[in-house]
Chain A
Amino acid sequence: MSRKRAYRSKMRILADMMRAIQSEGEEGAGPTKILYAANLSHDRLTQYLDELVEKKLINVPNPESDNRIYLLTEKGREFLREFIRMERFSEAFGIEI
């Protein structure tokens, strides 16, 4: 029995984006990879990437480059760990976040 996720909170979308970046390790992830992994429109992707950079959860080592690569910061890694803890806790009680 699988559960359909009808609505994703903004926090979950941000976490999905950060998971996509983390999955690429030290090399970082490009926008296309993040877009597909987080299942977002281009406009939303740009908006949320800017927000993550602004909050210092991710950074762009070469902002002038045509092929932008995003990396998780230490703050971002800690945020993602905390999110995963809370996600597991919530889902144990059947609460989707």
Chain B
Amino acid sequence: MQDGLFALIRLDLIFEIFSGIIALIVTIYATRAYNLTGQKKLSDLSTGFLVLSAGMFGRVIGTLYFAIQYGVEGPSSTTILSIVTIAYGVSRIMAYLLFVIATRPARHQESLNNENMTGVSLLLATIIVDSNLEVIAIFVLVVVVIQAIINYFSSRSRLAFYVLLGFVLILLSHMMVAMTFTNPGMYLLSQVTQLLGFLSLLVMLVKAGRVE
């Protein structure tokens, strides 16, 4: 049982490392785009992916260091693992909030800015009302997915489709994590789904980089 748990943790961490690396590559790309154009939204996008990758690497390092070094069952490692999990959850919510800001539709900028601030305030209110980080992450990601859908249908571009697919898969992975309480088998599936989401973003990067 213990061996199986460790194997599951290791596989989960490998998926997380790959996802983190892809998030870091998107960060580098968004930073390059920001440096070239000075578009503030690209800076928000870059910061979002940086926070996301930092959270992922933090979770990997934290889990490896405390759980594998000192064992999963010890009371101190359980507390530290809880702290790592909470920090990871908070970092993801911060990243998704930045995605909401970065990917908001550009039309009617001023009126939408006000609407968006209301949206962000509502999301922050949700954090206070509901402390379940996974539910909050799902709620924020739904907004990101809606914005990605709007962008895809207004541009009909294949690259926008990969971004939409990436965010949908990441959202699905959160939903699967939320279902882990009733079906523990969903945990590894959620990690695979998350990795697939980031791979979709990687495909977008490769295709965007192909210029004659």
Contact = CB atoms under 8 A, between A and B. Distances in A.
Contacts of B54: none
Contacts of A86: 29, 32-33, 36-37
A91 B160 contact: yes
A85 B39 contact: no
Contacts of A1: 153-154
Main secondary structure of the interface of A (DSSP, over half): helix
Interface stretch (A33-41, A61-69, A76-84): A76-84
Given A83-B36, A85-B211, A86-B33, A91 B42 contact: no
Interface residues of B, number: 35
A89 B208 contact: yes
Interface stretch (A3-11, A23-31, A51-59): A3-11
Contacts, number: 85
Contacts of B205: 89
Contacts of A93: 45, 102-103, 148, 151, 160, 163
B157 interface: yes
B148 A90 contact: no
B45 A11 contact: no
Of residues A6, A12, A89, A93, which shows the largest number of chain B Cβ atoms within 10 Å of its Cβ? A93
B209 A97 contact: no
A94 B160 contact: yes
A96 interface: yes
Interface of B: 29-30, 32-33, 36-39, 41-42, 45, 102-103, 105-107, 109, 147-148, 150-151, 153-155, 157, 159-160, 162-163, 204-205, 207-209, 211
Contacts of A89: 29-30, 33, 159, 204-205, 208
B211 to A, nearest CB: 5
Contacts of B157: 91-92
A75 interface: no
A12 B33 CA distance: 12
B97 to A, nearest CB: 15
Contact of B37 (A3, A11, A88, A94): A11
Contacts of B30: 89
Given A95-B42, A97-B42, A90 B37 contact: yes
